[in-house]
Amino acid sequence: MYRPLTLLSGLLFVCCAHSAERIVDTRDGSTVTREQLIEVMADSEFVLLGELHDNAAHHRDRGELLIALKSHAPSIVAEHLESGKTVVAGSDLQADLQADLERAGFDAKGWGWPLHQPLFAAVISAGMPLSGGNIPRATARNIARAGESALPEEITQLIAETPLDAEAREKLDADLLHGHCGQLDATMLPGLRLAQRARDATMFNALRSATQRPSILVAGNGHVRLDYGVPSLIRHYLPNSRFVSIGFVEEPAVGLQAQYHYLWITEPTPRRDPCSTFKTGKAGR
């Protein structure tokens, strides 16, 4: 479990890094400082940092957080890279970073590079160990189509021993349906749910296998949710560990309090309707 903030508890805090942003402790809705959040992260064994993939501010902010934790020698696990692969920086950080990431399974086009550049440049420049936490995309597709028979052996048991309760399963299904713009055949839900859980289990495995603490996961907000994400596996397999989940979200942050320990709230990023391609019959990524 994460430890509550103990310093200066009677004062009003403001997020100091970027004035239009704020950090909220979801226990009581209070606003806390970046320095206080760093204190909580440094005192945790596992730190889960979410993101909206297309919000550049989220990658910038998390890069700054990780730089601030450099003295604690954390290890970093990334959803964006394949499990079992690590990133070794080239001699020229600016020229080689994308290539270094791609050798570890990074899909530059799919992730909209250089959106994530501030995050990964911060990690590499600080000399932090960076490793992958995700299953290959082809494996995820096979799981979605074939079900349990396509699961890697080491992941099968992890999932079997941590079934989601009915409420968490319903929320995950609703989010999967929303992510497909409401145009998902109901018969596909079990396979997609299993693929999502396989990703979470693989990220959890990578987190607990990291040799340095805190072990920090950078991943989409869905993977760091307290109800159906990686935290569900941490609570089951490492019940006495200290961990904190931080969702990086946009205004207005409504109905998210129960999903994370902290919310880092930013301005919305301009974007086109993500469902426009679905409406024209051209399914997106």
Closest CA to 49 of 193, 199, 230: 230
Identify the DSSP state of 85.
Answer: -
Residue 280 has a pLDDT of 40
Structural domains counted in the chain = 1
Residue 130 maps to a domain: yes
Helix H or strand E segment including 82: strand 75-82
Yes or no: say if 263 and 249 are a contact pair by the CB < 8 Å rule: yes
Residue 186 has a pLDDT of 83
Residue 274 has a pLDDT of 77
* 86, pLDDT greater than 50: yes
Token pair of 18, please? Answer: 């970027």
Residue 263 maps to a domain: yes
Q: Dihedral through CA 7, CA 8, CA 10, CA 14, nearest 10? A: -110
Residue 6 maps to a domain: no
Closest CA to 193 of 167, 161, 233, 164: 164
* 236, pLDDT greater than 50: yes
C-alpha–C-alpha distance, residues 215 and 206, integer Å: 9
Identify the DSSP state of 10.
Answer: T
Yes or no: say if 126 and 67 are a contact pair by the CB < 8 Å rule: yes
DSSP per-residue letters across 205-264: HHHHH-SSSSEEEE--GGGG-TTTSHHHHHHHH-TT--EEEEEEEESS--S-GGG-SEEE
Domain that holds residue 115: 22-269
Residue 16 has a pLDDT of 45
Residue 247 maps to a domain: yes
Residue 185 maps to a domain: yes
Per-residue pLDDT reduced to its tens digit, 124-148: 999 999 999 999 999 999 999 999 9
C-alpha–C-alpha distance, residues 244 and 44, integer Å: 7
Per-residue pLDDT reduced to its tens digit, 5-55: 433 232 233 344 566 899 999 999 999 999 999 999 999 999 999 999 999
pLDDT band at 182 (very low <50, low <70, confident <90, very high): confident
How confident is the prediction for the chain on average, in pLDDT? 89
Closest CA to 150 of 135, 165, 164, 128: 135
* 225, pLDDT greater than 70: yes
Task: Give pTM, 2 decimals.
Answer: 0.89
Residue 277 maps to a domain: no
C-alpha–C-alpha distance, residues 59 and 119, integer Å: 5
Higher pLDDT, 180 or 132: 132
Yes or no: say if 66 and 128 are a contact pair by the CB < 8 Å rule: yes
Residue 14 has a pLDDT of 35
Count of Cβ atoms closer than 10 Å to residue 283 Cβ: 10
Any idea what the CATH number is for the domain that residue 229 is in? 3.40.50.11550
Helix H or strand E segment including 134: strand 130-134
Identify the DSSP state of 83.
Answer: B
Residue 8 has a pLDDT of 29
Residue 14 maps to a domain: no
Residue 50 maps to a domain: yes
